[in-house]
């Protein structure tokens, strides 16, 4: 009898390792089916000992050890990949098993008994370096195609990593031309059998291959991968919003370094952190340029900033959604069979409702977040009905209510939402086809693709959308316009300027004829930089602002979040602060702290640049209760 120690490949297990009995001597580094609570799962074997040698220790245990009944093991993870997962787990203060469950698809684990793997020796002359590529989409993809051809000529494969399914499909159509037989696009939405079939083809193909996939498939066992390309490097979609809260970009860097593979980071505008690292190399990280970085984005369209607080607009009593310039563009769209995209930063009719008598803001009764006013058609009567909807927890209620503070009836909706913009377009141009793409109206990827294609196939049409729409609009159109973006500047997020600038650059790149920005924010440099495609001055301003305040890349943030009953949460966060000493935990309420029954607080630790991973702090963080959410390099602090 043998005692087997495994790392459970699961996100829901709080322990790093579990112990089982087995009648067989199972090889270290293999995956084996194991019982996990009332279910089954997989474990990565890290130790196997004769049970007879440990009789005394076994008898002293306060729990019984379960048995592994299946003896067939699977070995398709390289030692370098397993070591990478350990380092990824440490960086994110998580468990190795949770990292494995993220980077090894469950479908592949389930089908692994039917898949044959052989660990091959690594190809020669492959070495690690990190190269940056910053240019417009056309030039960048031309570089990628050349890079793939070079790697194929050297008998090496390429892993092309992207953040979303739609990004994969767009990249596939460009990169696979001429090498269709050796290009494989894999994503989590595929049927199980199809995913297993593609995985097997990728692994067994004797020719170098181009793998276009999300970070979930970084575990594909091809030992000849010479380059990993991380495209759309600035995308927030790389950051997982659920445990183990991995940033795929960090995971890719660790895997490339541990496996000694070249890494290319590409985007139209790379993250501020990456650009800073290029200019400030250190012993842990040194970036180089694949080709000279482009800090000027060129465009032939007519780009213009429209000040909606101009004297003419201020004289008007009513609030105007569209200026005269935008109305003219919308008119041309209908008359000349063009296409126009209107960006709006918020969903619904109005993103905020305030009592005109006492100033109380209407909030969700469950979680205390701001509610959004929507208009929905009543299925019974056919008439429209206004609803308050919480986009945080999903609560919906009738909008015909009084102020909860003063009982007043003058609830005033504020701000601009997609539904309001679409209604305004229909009012001014009733014969125009108007489409809305936001998360309220489009729930699935298939719906988004169908709506996008219908928009392109309908001459003279207008699409109103949020940031979600920009990832689906993959063809140039005549016009794009920002109807409302000013509310973004009020979001307490240290990366918000970078996010706004990316949106504006995407909008500018989308339009062939006209790109306009409507704003009531005067003297905002970021709009001027976007109109001129001035990436360098934007970077200089942004890095100076972050340096003066002490934001990343000058520090690394570790955020701890607790939810629950208000008094309990406050007491627990205080105790955690004492436990983590001498590390200082700055505690504060969440931006939407929640109602009395579900209160949220954060604790923030600022680690000096290049001091993370701090082993002492990591040990303390890993010993915190499971209900504590720990995020390293959080997307937002509040």
Digit-coded pLDDT (tens) for 163-182: 999 999 999 999 999 999 99
How confident is the model at residue 144, as a pLDDT? 98
Separation of alpha carbons 581 and 576, rounded Å? 9
| Nearest by Cα to 114 from 186, 181, 192 | 192
> How confident is the model at residue 398, as a pLDDT?
87
* Cα gap 307→71, rounded to integer Å: 71
Does residue 500 register a pLDDT over 80?
yes
Q: What pLDDT sits at residue 637? A: 85
Looking at the predicted structure, is the pLDDT value of residue 466 above 70? yes
- Of 388 and 93, the structure prediction assigns the larger pLDDT to 93
Catalogue the long-range contacts made by 495-499 (C-beta closer than 8 Å, 24 or more residues apart).
495/635, 495/636, 497/526, 497/542, 497/545, 498/234, 498/271, 498/272, 498/542, 499/236
Q: Where are the beta strands (DSSP E) in 392-510?
A: 396-398, 411-414, 434-437, 461-465, 477-484
**What number is the average pLDDT over the span 309-329?**
73
pLDDT, position 532: 95
Which residues pair with residue 306 across a beta bridge?
A: 518
Measured CA to CA, the distance from residue 7 to residue 63 in angstroms comes to 18
- Token output for 258: 């541990």
Share of the chain above pLDDT 70, in %: 90
pLDDT of residue 155 exceeding 60: yes
* Local confidence band at 437 (pLDDT 50, 70, 90 cut-offs): very high
| Res. 89 pLDDT band, cuts 50 70 90 | very high
* pLDDT at site 57: 63
pTM of the model: 0.88
Element at 469 (helix H, strand E): helix 467-470
For the cut 80, the answer to whether the pLDDT of residue 306 exceeds it is yes
Instruction: Tell me the H-state helices in 205-304.
Output: 248-259, 272-279
Does the pLDDT of residue 377 top 70, yes or no?
Answer: no
Q: Which of 198-207, 402-411, 414-423 has the highest mean pLDDT?
A: 198-207
Question: Between these two residues, 498 and 377, which has the higher pLDDT value?
Answer: 498
Q: Which of 201-205, 224-228, 485-489, 608-612 has the lowest mean pLDDT?
A: 485-489
What rounded mean pLDDT belongs to the chain? 88
């Amino acid at each position: 009898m043998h005692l087997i120690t495994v790392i459970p490949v699961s996100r829901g297990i709080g322990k790093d390792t579990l112990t089982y009995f087995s009648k067989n001597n199972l090889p270290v580094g293999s995956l084996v089916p194991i019982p996990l609570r009332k279910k089954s799962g997989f474990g990565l074997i890290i130790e196997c000992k004769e049970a007879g040698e440990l009789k005394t220790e076994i008898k002293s245990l306060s729990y019984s050890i379960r048995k592994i009944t299946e003896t067939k093991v699977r070995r398709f993870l390289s030692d370098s990949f397993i070591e990478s997962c350990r380092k990824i787990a440490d960086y994110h203060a998580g468990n190795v098993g949770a990292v494995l469950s993220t980077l090894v698809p469950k479908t592949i684990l389930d089908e692994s008994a039917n898949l044959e793997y052989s660990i091959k020796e690594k190809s020669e002359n492959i070495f690690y370096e990190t190269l940056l590529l910053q240019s417009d989409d056309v030039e960048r993809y031309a570089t990628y195609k050349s890079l793939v051809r070079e790697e194929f000529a050297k008998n090496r494969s390429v892993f092309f990593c992207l953040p979303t399914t739609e990004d994969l499909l767009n990249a596939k159509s460009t990169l696979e031309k001429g090498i269709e037989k050796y290009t494989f696009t894999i994503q989590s939405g595929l049927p199980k059998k199809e995913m297993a079939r593609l995985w097997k083809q990728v692994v067994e193909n004797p020719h170098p291959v181009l793998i276009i996939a999300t970070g979930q498939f970084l575990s594909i066992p091809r030992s000849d991968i010479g380059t990993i390309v991380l495209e759309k490097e600035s995308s927030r979609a790389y950051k997982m919003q659920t445990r183990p809260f991995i940033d795929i970009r960090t995971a890719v860097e660790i895997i490339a370094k541990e496996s000694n593979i070249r890494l290319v980071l590409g985007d139209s505008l790379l993250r501020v952190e990456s650009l800073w690292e290029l200019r400030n190399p250190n012993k842990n990280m040194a970036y180089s340029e694949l080709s000279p970085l482009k800090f000027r984005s060129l465009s032939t369209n007519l780009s213009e900033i429209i000040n909606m607080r101009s004297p003419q607009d201020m004289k008007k009593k009513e609030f105007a959604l569209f200026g005269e310039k935008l109305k003219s563009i919308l008119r041309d769209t209908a008359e000349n069979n063009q296409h126009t995209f209107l960006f709006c930063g918020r969903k619904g009719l109005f993103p905020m409702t305030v009592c005109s008598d006492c100033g109380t803001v209407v909030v969700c009764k469950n979680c205390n977040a701001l509610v959004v006013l929507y208009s929905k058609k009543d299925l019974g009567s056919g008439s429209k009905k206004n609803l308050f909807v919480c986009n945080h927890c999903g609560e919906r209620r009738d909008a015909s209510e009084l102020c909860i503070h003063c009982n007043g009836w003058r609830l005033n909706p504020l701000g601009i939402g997609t539904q309001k913009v679409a209604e305004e377009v229909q009012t001014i141009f009733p014969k125009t086809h108007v489409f809305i793409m936001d998360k309220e109206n489009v729930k699935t990827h298939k719906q988004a693709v169908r709506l996008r294609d219908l928009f392109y196939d309908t001459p003279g049409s207008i699409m109103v959308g949020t940031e979600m729409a920009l990832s689906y609009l993959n063809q140039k159109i005549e016009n794009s316009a920002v109807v409302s973006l000013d509310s973004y500047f009020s979001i307490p997020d240290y990366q918000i300027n970078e996010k706004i600038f990316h949106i504006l650059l995407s909008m500018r790149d989308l339009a062939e004829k006209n790109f306009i920005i409507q704003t009531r924010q005067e003297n905002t440099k970021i709009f001027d930089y976007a109109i001129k495609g001035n990436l360098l001055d934007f970077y200089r301003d942004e890095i100076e602002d972050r340096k003066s305040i002490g934001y990343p890349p000058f520090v690394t943030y570790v955020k701890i979040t607790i939810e629950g009953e208000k008094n309990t949460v406050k007491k627990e966060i205080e105790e955690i602060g004492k436990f983590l000493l001498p590390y200082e935990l700055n505690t504060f309420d969440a931006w939407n702290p929640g109602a009395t029954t579900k209160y949220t607080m954060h604790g923030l630790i600022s680690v000096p640049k290049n001091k993370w991973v701090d082993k002492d702090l990591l040990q303390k963080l890993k010993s915190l209760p499971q209900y504590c959410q720990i995020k390293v390099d959080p997307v937002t602090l509040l």
